[in-house]
Every structure is written in C-alpha cells, then in structure tokens.
Amino acid sequence: EDSNGIEQENRTDEEDQEEDDEEGAFGISLSSSSSSSFVSYLCEDDVEFEPGDLRPCSVDDPDCPYAECDVHKELCDICHTYCLEPDDSEQRRFHRIRCKKDKFFERQYSIAVEQSCDKVCGICMELVMDKRPREQRFGILPKCMHVFCLKCIRNWRKVSTLNPAVRRGCPMCRVVSYFVCPSFVWVENKKAKRKLIADYKRSCRSIPCKYLQECRGPCPFGRGCFYQHTRNGTN
C-alpha cells in the first residue's frame, strides 16, 4: 500500500479515469495581463448606436467606461496598455504588482518550453515536442525525473502481464510512482514539480469520481481518490 493506504493493484482504474480527463494537462500557465486594448476612433455625428453599445471616448467625458483607454488613462510601462488611473494610486499599485507577476510567469513559461524541446521519451525514444500536437504532453512521475510522453507511460502502466510493482515502477529506474501527472511542459525544478502535482490534484477534485457517477459501487480508493466524491450532488 502507498502512504494513503491505496492498493497498488487498484491504481489502473484511477488512471483510466485520468485518461478520460486527459485534456486537462497541466504546466506553468501563461496568464493574460488584461483584455484587448481599446482603440480610439472618430465617428460622425449621424452614426447610430444600438442599445447597449459603448460610444468612443472623448476628452470631455467625465466617466470612462473602458478598462483600457488611451484618452483617459496612462500607459503601463510593463504591459504597454493604457490602463492606469491617473488619480487612483491604489489601482496603479495593484496593477503593477499583477503585471510583474504576469511577466514572471511569462519568463518561467519560456524557460519551461525551452527545457522541454530536447526531451526524449524513454520508451518510444522520440522528442516529445516533435510529436503530433495532441501527443505533445509529458507524463510526469512523482518519484523520479525520467522523461516519458504521456501516451507511452500510460500504455506501460496498463500492461496486464506485468507484475503490479513493475507496472507502477519507472521503466528506467523501477522506482514506484502511484500516479502520472500530465503536463504540457517538462519540469526540472523540484519546487515547480511539487506545484505542478498539487495543481493537478486540485483540478481533479472538481471532477466527479466515475465510480459514484456510474453507480459502480464504492470507490476503491476511498479517501485517497483524487476525484470529487459526490452522489446526487451531495458530498
């Protein structure tokens, strides 16, 4: 049994559920700092506006309805959008904090993508990022740092003729990992890997457990299951 008291033999079913939801691969997310920029334009007096349409700004308008406006707002030197309120120091401060955070994650994402480009799957021996777009995903094993594409490592862990301990072990070093974390990028840093796995588990908790959804009886993983345990909307 692993630290959660989950039998090794039962892990195949949970990975089947992971494969059902495999579109939710993880990685360092690249967040957008703001919406698309406002573009000012001139309009003739006889242009008609539909109800609910926002008119273009003019210097004389007391209340600007736009989040970004090159007429009423100042340019942020980090995200290069006109979004800073001239008379609101708190808004300016919080926006700059958010922008710096976004830039940090952009750099982290770029580093992660660069580190991923030369990674070769230890099973199929192909560059993971050279595969078809749908297959450009890594299968991260929590207990070791060997590289596998998601498809190959999941197929390995489904081979019924192998002993469960071998099936759960890394094909390279045999260290046992009880689940596979899907990711769009490869992670070298241990701290980044822990965060990736924590984000994956947190995302799984929002997905209903298939055993309860399909009325297949009690979940064999009990409290160790990553997925949401609800029946008819009740915890």
Q: What is the pLDDT of residues 129-155, one digit of tens each?
A: 999 999 999 999 999 999 999 999 999
Q: What is the pTM of this model?
A: 0.59
Q: What is the mean pLDDT of residues 81-98?
A: 85
Of 26 and 12, the one with more pLDDT: 26
Strand partners, 225: none
CA proximity to 187, closest of 130, 92, 109: 109
3-state class of 112 per DSSP?
Answer: helix
H-run or E-run covering 75: strand 74-75
Tokens 């009880």 -> residue: 178
Other residues' Cβ atoms within 10 Å of the Cβ of residue 214: 9
In this prediction, residue 17 carries a pLDDT of 54
